[in-house]
Amino acid sequence: MMPEGVYYRTLKARAEIIEGNINDLLWDLTVYKYALQKCIEALWELDKIPKKSQVHQLFYPMLRDHGFRAHVARNIYSTALALVKSAKENNGSKPVVKKMTARLDYQDAKVDMDSHVVKVILRDKWYTLKIIHKKDFIEKFKGLKWKEVHVKYCNGVLYVSIIFVIRYKPYVPRGAIGLDINLRQITTYDGSNVRRYRTRFIDALSKRARAEELQRKHPRRWRYNKRILSRVRALHRKARNIVLDWCRKSAKYIVLKAKKYGYAIALEDLTNLRENIVEKEGVFVWKLSMFTYRKLQEAIISKTIEHNVPVILVNPRNTSTTCPRCGTKLSYTYRLAICRKCNFKADRDKIGAINIWLRSLYVYAGEHGSTLSAPAVKDEARQSGRIKDEGMKIMIKSVQK
Ligand SMILES: [Zn+2]
């Protein structure tokens, strides 16, 4: 189960300076980058990584001399310390700061989400930056608490990132919705009903296939011919946008539905994404699938955090090859399976969704098993009338194990 706690969400956007001089800001960012690298060099030479208080003594006066405000100075040496620590732990080489990015917290930044404006100060001058993004997107962050602002200058463009803090406190679910995801459809099972939602992955795939066809047709030319290149790029972009747009919309739909009924959402834990997709879809589509699955999972998880909906990540092993009724290994004729032992009959997606749902009950059992006695769980389930007995028996069994 995804633990409750603090999660972060970032608003990342282009920014335009509306008060203050851009050249002054760029100079501040340059000095910031230089000072950060200085701290890294000095820390790198030391045999032992010093404690934070020692690091403070080492660098704080120097950074203040460079004109940085107190909190900015702290952020600089903390960042240097973190970079050096992780590089040394991973036996990496000395970190080199390439980007012009400054980290600012509440002392040195002001965020006004009503007028889409951020004010920042690094040394002695305030700058006012306007966030450039779709209004709907910015509005989503309204009312959230922010923690940090990052200002970045890259390839002639100014960017601002605002990191918001979300306290995730999932409610205690009354049941769960199991989600089985494949390229064609999302299949859900809530303990009694199976529902199917067509995806738009296939549309995205066909856009991509057309791009690849063009590349094949003009194997040498497509890279250099402006017209073909822009066509290829547009198709790839469209494929990506279809996926992203669809992921956002369906994540919202599913999460709000779960919230309405007080349910948890159960998903396969896709940490070992690659094997999974190869098993499900075959190797040939795995690249786009990987992107899609990851985006969909991200979209669902970020929505659940926003709405305090509990998420259960279940072990994805054999979800589509185990009979949900008796546990026998299933074999398929195309997408349909009939259990040799108990005659349970269903298609692949349905079996996946049911198994995911069943596994989410194991998680419950793990969470609450120590405090609830088996009969009490059973009564509760009957009263709510939402959880079928079949699943509950399995759950109780696992508590007793
Ligand atoms: Zn069976």
Q: Which residue has the higher pLDDT, 140 or 126?
A: 126
Is the pLDDT at 23 greater than 70, yes or no? yes
315 C-alpha to center of ligand 1: Å?
20
Instruction: Reduce the DSSP state of residue 284 to 3 states and report it.
Output: helix
Residue 395: pLDDT band by 50, 70, 90 thresholds? very low
Residues constituting the chain: 401
- Ligand 1 centroid – CA 354 distance (Å): 13
If you measure from the C-alpha of residue 329 to the centroid of ligand 1, how many angstroms do you get, rounded to a whole number? 8
Report residue 334 CA to chain centroid gap: 33
How many A from CA of 320 to the centre of ligand 1? Answer: 13
Residue 233 three-state SS: helix
The arrangement of strands across the sheet holding 194-198 comes to: 194-198, 185-189, 175-181, 263-268, 311-314
pLDDT at 7 over 90: no
Q: Which residues contact 155 (CB under 8 A, 6 or more apart)?
A: none
**Gap from CA of 326 to ligand 1 centroid (Å):** 4
How far is the centre of ligand 1, averaged over its atoms, from the C-alpha of 372 (Å)? 29
Residue 186 CA to ligand 1 centre (angstroms): 23
Q: Which comes out higher in pLDDT, residue 367 or 357? A: 357
Span 161-170, average pLDDT: 92
pLDDT at 286: 59
pLDDT at 396 over 70: no
**What average pLDDT does the segment 35-42 reach?**
96
Cα dihedral 106, 112, 117, 122, rounded to 10, equals -10
Whether the CB-CB separation of 273 and 293 falls below 8 Å is answered with yes
Task: Give the C-alpha distances (Å, rounded to integers) separating 88 from 53, 82, 168.
Answer: 20, 10, 33
Cα-to-centroid distance, 246 and ligand 1 (Å): 35
Q: How many CB atoms lie within 10 A of CB 357?
A: 27
Band (pLDDT 50/70/90 cuts) for residue 251 is very high
| 270 CA distance to ligand 1 middle (Å) | 26
pLDDT grade for 401, boundaries at 50, 70 and 90:
very low
pLDDT in tens, 209-247: 888 888 888 888 878 888 888 898 999 899 889 988 999
398 alpha carbon – ligand 1 mean position (Å): 19
In the numeric block, which tokens belong to residue 346?
């269903």
Give every CB contact of residue 336 below 8 A, 6+ residues apart in sequence: 345, 346, 347, 348
pLDDT for 283 beyond 90: no
Tell me, in angstroms, the distance from the centre of ligand 1 to residue 348's CA: 14
Query: 0.75 exceeded by the pTM?
Result: no
Q: How far does the centroid of ligand 1 lie from the alpha carbon of residue 322, in Å? A: 8
Rounded to an integer, the average pLDDT of 18-43 is: 96
pLDDT digits (tens, 9 = 90+) for 297-329: 889 988 999 899 999 988 888 888 899 999 999
Backbone angles phi, psi at 333, to 5 degrees: -110, 110
Least confident window among 6-10, 124-128, 281-285 = 281-285
Query: How far, in Å, from the CA of 263 to the mean position of ligand 1?
Result: 27
The stretch 59-63 carries a mean pLDDT of 96
Percent of the chain residues topping a pLDDT of 90: 54
Residues 189 and 349: their CA atoms lie apart, in Å, by: 10
* Span from the CA of 374 to the centroid of ligand 1 (angstroms): 25
Q: Residue 382: pLDDT band by 50, 70, 90 thresholds? A: very low
Question: Which range scores top for mean pLDDT: 60-64, 132-136, 166-170, 290-294?
Answer: 60-64
> What's the confidence (pLDDT) of residue 319?
87
Q: Cα of 401 to ligand 1 centre, how many Å?
A: 22
Structural domains of the chain ordered from first start? 5-168 (no CATH), 175-200+238-400 (3.30.420)
pLDDT at res. 385? 35
> Ligand 1 centre and the CA of 340: distance in Å?
7
Q: How far is the CA of 342 from the centre of ligand 1 (A)?
A: 4
**pLDDT over threshold 60, residue 378:** no
Tell me the pLDDT of the chain averaged across its residues. Answer: 84
Tokens 């959880």 found at: 387
Range scoring the smallest mean pLDDT among 93-102, 194-203, 258-267, 370-379 = 370-379
Nearest to 22 by CA among 30, 12, 13, 11: 30
Q: What local confidence, expressed as pLDDT, does residue 278 receive?
A: 55
**Distance of CA 330 from the midpoint of ligand 1 (Å):** 8
* 353 CA to centre of ligand 1 in angstroms: 16
- What letter represents residue 400's amino acid? Q
Q: 174 C-alpha to center of ligand 1: Å?
A: 27
User: What values do phi and psi take at 380, rounded to 5?
Assistant: -60, -40
